[in-house]
Amino acid sequence: MTSSTGSATRSWDGLTIPAAGTYELDQAHKRVGFVARHMMVSKVRGEFAEATATITVAEDPLASSVTATLQAASITTGQADRDNHLRSGDFLEAEKYPTLEYRSTGVKSHSGNEFVLAGELTIKDVTRPVDLQVEFEGAGTSPYGQEVFGFSATAEIDREDFGLTWNVAIESGGVLVGKKVKIEIEGEAIRQG
C-alpha cells in the first residue's frame, strides 16, 4: 500500500482508493432504492428520498465502516396511495418507527473492486444481519475541489423477516406483494473536514 500525505487517493491492492477519513453520502448523487414483485407478474421500484450515511475509510481499507439512516416517511414509488400504504401500520409504521438503520460489522471479503460488507439492518423494531454486495466505482477530486468516491451496493432481504407480513392472496394464485425485496444503492461520498 502506498499513500501520500494530503493526497485524495492512494493505491491499494491494484485499486486507486480514497484516503483514510470520514465521508458523507452526497445528497445530490445518491439513490437508495428497492425493487419488489407486484401480483407475481411485475416489479415495482421505489426509493427512500431522505437517506444519510457516514463512511469511515480506515488506514486498513478492510477495517472501514458505514452507518446509514433512511427516513421511513420519505419512501416513494411514484404512486401516492401505494406510498401512503407503505408508510402505514401494514408496512413501515413510519410514525412509530421514523427511521430504518444500517450499521456495518465488517468487510467479509473482497475481490478486485467488489466487496462483501457484513452489517445489521433495522426495520421497525427488528434487526437482522444483511450483507451488502458493494462495487467500488472509483475515487478522485471533483471540479469543486472535493475528495469523492463512488460506489454501488445490492442485497436481497425477505421483508417478512422484519415483520412486514401484510399481503393479499390473488384469485389467479400467488400474492399481491412478493416477500423478497432487492435493495439497490448508488452513491458518491464526500470527504468531511
**What is the tens place of the pLDDT at every residue in 39-92?**
777 799 999 999 999 999 999 999 999 999 999 999 999 999 999 999 999 999
DSSP track, 22-39: EEEEEEEEEEEEEEEEET
Asked if 186 and 24 count as a contact pair (C-beta separation under 8 A), the reply is no
pLDDT at 2 over 70: no
User: What's 60's DSSP letter?
Assistant: S
Identify the pLDDT of residue 5.
Answer: 45
Query: Mean pLDDT throughout 6-26?
Result: 93
Identify the pLDDT of residue 4.
Answer: 40
User: What's 81's DSSP letter?
Assistant: H
Q: How far apart are CA 48 and CA 91, in angstroms?
A: 14
pLDDT digits (tens, 9 = 90+) for 143-193: 999 999 999 999 999 999 999 888 777 777 777 788 999 999 999 999 997
Query: Mean pLDDT throughout 18-27?
Result: 97
Q: How far apart are CA 175 and CA 50, in angstroms?
A: 29
Residue 2 phi, psi (nearest 5): -120, 150
Query: Mean pLDDT throughout 32-41?
Result: 84
Identify the pLDDT of residue 147.
Answer: 96
Query: Mean pLDDT throughout 19-37?
Result: 95
Q: How far apart are CA 51 and CA 71, in angstroms?
A: 6
Strand partners, 188: 150
Q: What CATH class is the domain 2-191?
A: mainly beta
Identify the pLDDT of residue 133.
Answer: 98
